[in-house]
């Protein structure tokens, strides 16, 4: 538009021995996409210092408490260093508190305590963040999964303070001078049970010279006070001048669990450098599992920065008890459960690329995730669609079924498929209490008429219909293997509902009223109304599961290809339509000057790969390379729109590998044009899949010929099992399209409808 160090080490054991570890974290810029604001997004990211899928991240804070834009590249003062979980600037953050070092006099006000810095004095890597302020203070951070290690360095001879800010809503602090410790909780959270708390414990390696509490509503300070509870309560401590280290961990379960986690995750590290070295090892191991060769240093920086972002969300929401077993506080029912739970992700964004990438790179985690979805459904009555950390109902569609089906089809079978089908059937035949993606708005009309009629109350109805039809295909896929009733009685019919909104005269997906009449006037350039964050040029292609069916509706291959070509040749004119004003997605589309193509938002992410379905795969190859080149980089301006919990990055990571997941819920990836001469994907099972692109260069973007494990390969797709079994996809690249390659019927990727 989102395990403990010990367990992580065990998790990566099969692949850690597969190659010598390279220093790849040097390529990652966690500030990629941070030059964003409300009006224009280059990513809406922040420099998260975190382990992969960690429960917490840590970030410098340039924005005010409660501001969704917590770090903006063009702001040159920092107010604190936050524990963060934010997956989108548009939904702000939760479970936040911050630490801020100061020298000289104590200042608690967040505006006046802000310290100036320059980006030249920053290092922003996933495993290490450092900034040297203009006032001489230096802050360093290195993460664990549920905590972090800080090192603060102060100017000689100056007083040295650390201010803990309780952020928004209620907080509690307790200062324990004898133990060099601060503990407490914050409960700032928009979507969670009333008893939600994030308990924290911070242990310093030096004694306190002085201390006290304060509150951030009026900035009142109570010197020598050891405990406080209320809105915005915080603490401050003073040390002898020099250097001080702090170990931090938190828990959603209890103060005791926070203490246990701190001991387990950080207790074994004698100093900051040891924690940093361990975090580097985790990230270098993961980044090295998609090892690239060739290409420019800039391309490597973009690739590994995107790979970092693709491995941040979802956040773990489980913790390890004294027995080493996972358990969690449920953000849905407020109770303690055994097992795994994950949060902070909007599936409308991420079902497309981020979760399919996980099925390749993290099948163990994906299996746990699938069961966690069903556990969440039991705890709140609905499948998650956008958890943060509880269900928000944000965006549209019922895409949990996409995640479940995609896992099942790819052999990740850790859950009961009948339980999944029952949960999805409930989702598809009811409307929940939260948002347009909680249950199904207009489900009765969709079932009876085959589409959701457009009214003033059903804004987005055409987009809903298209995504419901895809989700029903996923239900069909899962039911086909597991349950006859759901297969034949429900989803086999509904997955073709996209046909009901195709207008053959304009060759666009359009809105109808309840009587079946087309809504007029119609302009395909108009944003909003029946479309969500887009227009007809963007949404007409959302038939992931039956592209051949869409080709037939358009009149065949040539009209279909001509229509895709028109997306790029039609001027990038903005018509605000139902929005009534310019929104940032419109501005971003126009800025990149590719006509009506809008890579900055998800509905069109798969479009260029659709050329493969209509006999002109070389056009997909050309456009994919152009998009990677023109719209992505590793800088603060690194994305063409919201990064969206890893989806924007996953598109790039998969595309750089040479393929993309057009239709999750099938076992196929559709070929594009790999960015690097060679990429080696080391799998969890220890096997390796290699993509070789002979003669690859910025000019040689077209596939001339291909072999898979030494055998000729003319298909425009590759299966998931071909990747996970290991092997080599060898491509010969050239400067001109190979017009006779990949044009046979058998070379086209999967569609429900057979080719005529």
Residue 17 pLDDT greater than 90, yes or no: no
Bridge partners of residue 103, in order along the sequence: 160
**Is there a domain that residue 646 lies in?**
yes
Give yes or no: residues 315 and 226 share one domain: no
Query: Mind listing the pLDDT tens digit for each residue in 605-643?
Result: 999 999 999 999 999 999 999 999 999 999 999 999 999
User: Residue 225 has what pLDDT?
Assistant: 97
Give yes or no: residues 468 and 427 share one domain: yes
Give yes or no: residues 255 and 385 share one domain: no
Give yes or no: residues 46 and 82 share one domain: yes
Nearest one of 718, 730, 653, 645 to 691, comparing CA atoms = 730
Residue 692 pLDDT greater than 80, yes or no: yes
Residue 4 pLDDT greater than 50, yes or no: no
Q: Please, are residues 248 and 269 in contact by the beta-carbon 8 Å criterion?
A: no
20 pLDDT tier (thresholds 50, 70, 90): low
Residue 381, exposed/middle/buried by CB under 10 A (0-12, 13-18, 19+)?
A: middle
Query: Would you call 80 helix, strand, or coil by DSSP?
Result: strand
Total domains in the fold of the chain:
2
Residue 5 pLDDT greater than 60, yes or no: no
Give yes or no: residues 144 and 264 share one domain: yes
Give yes or no: residues 501 and 640 share one domain: yes
CATH number assigned to the domain comprising residue 452: 1.20.1610.10
The residues, ordered by sequence, that sit 6+ positions from 636 with a Cβ below 8 Å of its Cβ are 31, 32, 33, 34, 35, 42, 73
Domain finish residue from 288, 315, 331: 288
For the full predicted model, state whether its pTM sits above 0.85.
yes
Query: Mind listing the pLDDT tens digit for each residue in 550-578?
Result: 999 999 999 999 999 999 999 999 999 99
Nearest one of 726, 13, 723 to 410, comparing CA atoms = 723
User: Residue 74 has what pLDDT?
Assistant: 98
Query: Would you call 710 helix, strand, or coil by DSSP?
Result: coil
**Is there a domain that residue 533 lies in?**
yes
The pLDDT mean for the chain works out to: 95
CATH number assigned to the domain comprising residue 115: 2.70.98.10
Residue 653 pLDDT greater than 70, yes or no: yes
Strands 220-223 and 138-143, bridge-based pairing: unpaired
**Is there a domain that residue 532 lies in?**
yes
Q: Which residue has the tokens 């307790």?
A: 174
Mean pLDDT, rounded, for 408-417 = 97
Query: Mind listing the pLDDT tens digit for each residue in 325-378?
Result: 999 999 999 999 999 999 999 999 999 999 999 999 999 999 999 999 999 999
Give yes or no: residues 303 and 281 share one domain: no
**Is there a domain that residue 374 lies in?**
yes
User: Residue 1 has what pLDDT?
Assistant: 53
Bridge partners of residue 293, in order along the sequence: 678
Q: What CA–CA distance (Å, rounded) separates 701 from 705?
A: 12
Domain finish residue from 239, 256, 288: 288
Query: Mind listing the pLDDT tens digit for each residue in 235-246?
Result: 999 999 999 999
Long-range pairs for 585-588 at CB < 8 Å and ≥24 separation?
Answer: 585/527, 585/533, 585/534, 585/641, 586/527, 587/39, 587/40, 588/40, 588/41, 588/640, 588/641
CA-atom Rg of the chain in angstroms: 26
Range of the domain at 392: 294-747
Give yes or no: residues 283 and 302 share one domain: no
**Is there a domain that residue 756 lies in?**
no
Residue 11 pLDDT greater than 70, yes or no: no
Give yes or no: residues 283 and 200 share one domain: yes
User: Residue 14 has what pLDDT?
Assistant: 37
Residue 3 pLDDT greater than 70, yes or no: no
Mean pLDDT, rounded, for 225-250 = 97
| Cis amide prior to 314 (ω within 30 degrees) | yes
User: What's the angle, vertex CA 621, arms to CA 600 and CA 30, rounded to 5?
Assistant: 40
Q: What CA–CA distance (Å, rounded) separates 657 from 680?
A: 9
Domain finish residue from 254, 269, 288: 288
**Is there a domain that residue 428 lies in?**
yes
Give yes or no: residues 155 and 180 share one domain: yes
Residue 525 pLDDT greater than 50, yes or no: yes
Q: What CA–CA distance (Å, rounded) separates 99 from 161?
A: 10
Q: What CA–CA distance (Å, rounded) separates 119 from 567?
A: 39
Give yes or no: residues 50 and 138 share one domain: yes
**Is there a domain that residue 755 lies in?**
no
Mean pLDDT, rounded, for 123-127 = 98
User: Residue 490 has what pLDDT?
Assistant: 80
**Is there a domain that residue 21 lies in?**
no
Backbone angles phi, psi at 634, to 5 degrees: -95, 10
Give yes or no: residues 352 and 224 share one domain: no
Q: What CA–CA distance (Å, rounded) separates 528 from 350?
A: 21
N- to C-terminal Cα separation, the chain: 37
Query: Mind listing the pLDDT tens digit for each residue in 702-739?
Result: 999 999 999 999 999 999 999 999 999 999 999 999 99
């Amino acid at each position: 538009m989102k395990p403990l160090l010990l367990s992580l080490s065990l998790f990566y054991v099969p692949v850690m021995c597969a190659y010598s570890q390279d220093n790849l974290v040097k390529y990652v810029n966690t500030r990629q996409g941070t030059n964003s604001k409300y009006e224009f997004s280059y990513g809406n990211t922040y420099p998260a210092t975190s382990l992969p899928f960690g429960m917490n991240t840590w970030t410098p804070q340039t924005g005010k408490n409660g501001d969704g834009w917590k770090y903006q590249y063009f702001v040159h003062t920092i107010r604190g260093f936050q524990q963060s979980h934010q997956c989108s600037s548009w939904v702000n953050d939760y479970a936040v508190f911050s630490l801020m070092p100061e020298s000289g006099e104590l200042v608690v006000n967040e505006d006046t305590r802000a310290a100036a810095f320059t980006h030249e004095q920053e290092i922003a890597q996933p495993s290490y963040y450092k900034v040297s302020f203009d006032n001489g203070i230096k802050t360093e951070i290195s993460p664990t999964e549920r905590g972090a290690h800080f090192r603060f360095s102060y100017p000689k001879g100056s007083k040295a303070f650390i201010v803990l800010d309780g952020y928004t809503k209620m907080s509690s602090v307790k200062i324990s001078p004898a133990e060099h410790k601060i503990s407490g909780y914050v409960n700032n959270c928009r979507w969670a049970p009333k008893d939600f708390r994030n308990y924290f414990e911070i242990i310093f390696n030096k004694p306190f010279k002085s201390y006290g509490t304060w509150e951030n509503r009026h900035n009142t300070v109570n010197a020598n006070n050891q405990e406080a509870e209320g809105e915005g309560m915080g603490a401050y401590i003073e040390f002898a001048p020099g250097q001080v280290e702090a170990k931090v961990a938190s828990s959603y379960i209890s103060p005791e669990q926070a203490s246990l986690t701190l001991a387990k995750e950080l207790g074994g590290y004698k100093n900051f450098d040891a924690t940093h070295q361990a975090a580097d090892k985790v990230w270098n191991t993961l980044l090295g599992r998609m090892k690239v060769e060739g290409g420019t240093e800039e391309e490597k920086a973009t690739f590994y920065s995107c790979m970092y972002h693709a491995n941040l969300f979802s956040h773990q929401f489980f913790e390890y008890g004294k027995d080493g077993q996972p358990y969690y506080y449920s953000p849905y029912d407020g109770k303690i459960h055994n097992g795994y739970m994950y949060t902070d992700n909007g599936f409308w964004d991420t079902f497309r690329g981020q979760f399919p990438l996980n099925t390749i790179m993290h099948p163990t985690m994906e299996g746990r995730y699938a069961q966690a979805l069903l556990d969440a459904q039991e705890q709140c009555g609905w499948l998650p669609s956008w958890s943060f950390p509880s269900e928000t109902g944000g965006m549209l569609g019922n895409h949990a079924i996409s995640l479940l089906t995609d896992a099942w089809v790819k052999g990740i079978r850790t859950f009961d498929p009948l339980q999944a089908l029952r949960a999805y059937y409930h989702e598809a035949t009811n409307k929940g209490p939260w948002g347009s993606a909680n249950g199904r708005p207009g489900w009765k009309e969709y079932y009876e008429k085959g589409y959701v009629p457009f009214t003033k109350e059903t804004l987005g109805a055409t987009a809903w219909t298209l995504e419901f039809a895809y989700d029903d295909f996923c239900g069909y896929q899962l039911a086909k293997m597991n349950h006859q009733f759901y297969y034949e009685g429900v989803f086999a019919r509904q997955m073709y509902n996209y046909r009901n909104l195709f207008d053959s005269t304009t060759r666009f997906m359009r809105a109808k009223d309840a009587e079946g009449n087309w809504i007029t006037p119609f302009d395909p350039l108009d944003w909003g109304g029946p479309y969500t964050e887009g227009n007809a040029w963007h949404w007409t292609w959302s038939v992931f599961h039956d592209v051949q069916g869409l080709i037939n509706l358009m009149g065949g291959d040539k009209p279909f290809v001509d229509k895709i070509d028109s997306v790029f040749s039609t001027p990038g004119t903005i018509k605000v339509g139902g929005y009534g004003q310019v929104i940032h997605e419109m501005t971003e589309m126009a800025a990149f000057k590719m006509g009506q193509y809008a890579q900055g938002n998800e509905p069109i992410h798969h479009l260029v790969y659709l050329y493969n379905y209509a006999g002109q795969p070389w056009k997909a190859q050309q456009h994919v390379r152009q998009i990677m080149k023109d719209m992505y980089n590793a800088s603060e301006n690194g994305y063409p729109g919201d990064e969206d919990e890893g989806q924007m990055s996953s598109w790039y990571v998969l595309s750089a590998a040479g393929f993309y997941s057009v239709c999750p819920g099938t076992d196929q990836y559709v070929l594009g044009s790999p960015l690097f001469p060679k990429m080696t994907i080391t799998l969890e099972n220890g096997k390796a899949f290699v993509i070789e692109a002979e003669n690859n260069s910025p000019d040689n973007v077209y596939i001339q010929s291909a072999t898979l494990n030494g055998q000729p390969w003319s298909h425009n797709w590759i299966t998931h099992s071909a990747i996970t079994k290991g092997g080599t996809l060898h491509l010969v690249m050239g400067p001109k399209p190979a017009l006779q390659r990949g044009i046979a019927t058998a070379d086209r990727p999967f569609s429900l409808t057979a080719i005529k």
